[in-house]
């Protein structure tokens, strides 16, 4: 079997500040195989985005990497030389599209200039000043043209018109901006794309188009695998092969998407699925949804044992004292004492 593209082993990360230490990711083990689309689901505040930030290798200032291993295509991103990481791993092997990244487009620059900035930053190994001095004017001009052509071709694969490059961000619709961001981050055909809530701020019709673009990117072989993070499990169901469910900084279940939707094993997954409001053109009548009582744990001092037990209907004494490990069940793995032995 081929080496998985992303291999996370016992990853721990925390936020440190005057509020104390928040262990937002606490011992996560996850693999994303080559060629698969992995979904990551969970409530807000369960550590989905933190996991993505940590595996992108450039966590935000308050977030600290604690321990564990992240192997991207065989390269341990926290052990390797930062320069190698910047030039070899980022954008070439793995790309990360953060949440609300479409707002990161510079409002006073055309998309074209933004793209060129990113290209310069990514491809050269020298500081900017030296780089400019090195190149003759004609050479610079032709390089710029080349890069723009590359970007234009790439945008067309995403279903964007080439002339988007000449626009300012405010002239584009939300769906187009999102696809521009996806386009820029996949310019170097990264093997793995980590994408965080790309469609949460979009309408249903634009959401569908963005998801179609992503599926087409994968089908065209530009990206090989995807880690798609969303709170909306119906969206994950549309494009993911496997899905991981997070709760309170831990993975509680990983399984094939169909199994997650149709026969969830972990009580949390089951309650999450039963609380989803979904559209069904054949449905008659109303009601019948159940919400999950209580609220997610405070990760500054999480409950002993299983993190879900205060909200779980089926908890036993063992759940209150011991933390369940991930055990293989059926096609996937589940962290619940009910599946022990």
Partner 1 sequence: MAWSLAGAMMGEEMEKILQCEGLTKTFTSGLIRTKCCEAVKNVTFDVEKGEIVALVGESGSGKTTVARLILRLIEPTSGQVLFNGKDVSSYDRREYYRRVQAIVQDPYSAYNPFYKVDRVLEEIFGLYKDGFSPEKRKEIIVSTLKRIGINPEEILGRFPHQLSGGQLQRFLIARPLMINSEIVVADEATSMLDASTRAGILNLLLSLKDNEKISILFITHDIAQAQYISDKVLVMQMGEVVEQGLASEVFRHPAHPYTKELFSSVPQLREKWDFEKTTQGPADKCPENP
Judged by the rule CB under 8 A, the positions of this chain that interact with partner 1 are: 43-44, 156-157, 159-161, 163-164, 167, 171-172, 175-176, 179, 203-205, 207-209, 211-213, 215-216, 219, 231-235, 237-239, 261, 271-273, 275-287, 289-292, 295
The minimum distance between CB 331 and partner 1, in angstroms, equals: 18
Residue with smaller CB distance to partner 1, 131 or 167: 167
Residue with smaller CB distance to partner 1, 88 or 232: 232
The minimum distance between CB 311 and partner 1, in angstroms, equals: 9
Distance CA 326, CA 200 (A): 30
Residue with smaller CB distance to partner 1, 185 or 213: 213
Distance CA 261, CA 181 (A): 30
119: Cβ contacts below 8 Å, ≥ 6 apart: 147, 151, 187
Residue with smaller CB distance to partner 1, 136 or 205: 205
Q: For residue 96, with 0-12 CB atoms within 10 Å meaning exposed, 13-18 middle and 19 or more buried, which class applies?
A: buried
The minimum distance between CB 86 and partner 1, in angstroms, equals: 32
In this structure, what token pair is assigned to residue 194? 């980590």
193: Cβ contacts below 8 Å, ≥ 6 apart: 94, 95, 97, 182, 185, 186, 214, 217, 223, 225, 226, 227
The minimum distance between CB 24 and partner 1, in angstroms, equals: 16
Task: Supply φ then ψ for residue 296, to 5 degrees.
Answer: -60, 155
The minimum distance between CB 243 and partner 1, in angstroms, equals: 13
Residue with smaller CB distance to partner 1, 91 or 272: 272
**Polymer length of the chain:** 341
Distance CA 234, CA 248 (A): 21
The minimum distance between CB 201 and partner 1, in angstroms, equals: 9
Q: For residue 235, with 0-12 CB atoms within 10 Å meaning exposed, 13-18 middle and 19 or more buried, which class applies?
A: buried
Q: In what order do the strands lie in the sheet with 192-196?
A: 94-97, 192-196, 225-229, 37-41, 242-247, 250-256, 332-334, 327-329
Residue with smaller CB distance to partner 1, 167 or 318: 167
Residue with smaller CB distance to partner 1, 127 or 285: 285
- Angstrom distances, CA of residue 57 to CA of 39, 60, 215: 19, 10, 25
Residue with smaller CB distance to partner 1, 124 or 234: 234
Q: Under a CB-based contact definition with an 8 Å cutoff, are residues 314 and 339 in contact?
A: no
The minimum distance between CB 281 and partner 1, in angstroms, equals: 5
The minimum distance between CB 125 and partner 1, in angstroms, equals: 35
Taking the alpha carbons of 241, 279, 48, 222 in that order, is the dihedral positive or negative?
Answer: positive
């Amino acid at each position: 079997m081929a080496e998985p593209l992303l291999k996370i082993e016992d990853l721990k990360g925390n936020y440190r500040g005057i509020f104390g230490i928040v262990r937002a990711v606490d011992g996560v083990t996850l693999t994303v195989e080559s060629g698969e689309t992995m979904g990551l689901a969970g409530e807000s505040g369960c550590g989905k985005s933190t996991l993505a930030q940590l595996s992108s290798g450039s966590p935000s200032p308050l977030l600290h990497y604690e321990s564990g291993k992240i192997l991207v295509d065989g390269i341990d991103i926290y052990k390797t030389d930062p320069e190698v990481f910047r030039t070899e791993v980022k954008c070439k092997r793995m790309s990360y599209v953060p949440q609300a990244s479409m707002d990161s487009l510079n409002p006073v620059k055309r998309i074209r200039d933004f793209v060129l900035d990113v290209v310069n930053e990514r491809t050269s190994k020298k500081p900017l000043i030296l780089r400019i001095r090195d190149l003759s004017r004609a050479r610079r001009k032709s390089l710029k043209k080349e890069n723009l052509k590359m970007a234009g071709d790439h945008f067309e694969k995403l279903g964007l018109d080439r002339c988007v490059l000449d626009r300012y961000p405010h002239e584009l619709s939300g769906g187009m901006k999102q696809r521009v961001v996806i386009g820029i981050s996949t310019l170097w055909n990264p093997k793995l794309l980590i994408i965080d809530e790309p469609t949460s701020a979009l309408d249903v019709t634009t959401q569908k188009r963005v998801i179609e673009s992503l599926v087409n990117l994968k089908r065209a072989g530009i990206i090989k695998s995807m880690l798609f993070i969303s709170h909306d499990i119906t969206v994950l169901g549309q494009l993911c092969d496997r899905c991981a469910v997070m709760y309170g900084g831990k993975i509680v279940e990983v399984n094939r998407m169909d199994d997650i939707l149709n026969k969830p094993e972990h009580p949390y997954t089951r309650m999450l699925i039963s609380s989803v409001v979904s559209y069904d053109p054949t449905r008659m009548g109303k009601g019948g949804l159940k919400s999950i009582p209580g609220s997610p744990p405070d990760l500054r001092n999480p409950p002993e044992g299983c993190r879900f037990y205060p909200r779980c209907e089926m908890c036993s004494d063992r759940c209150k004292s011991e933390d369940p490990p991930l055990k293989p069940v059926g096609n996937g793995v589940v962290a619940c004492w009910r599946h022990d032995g």
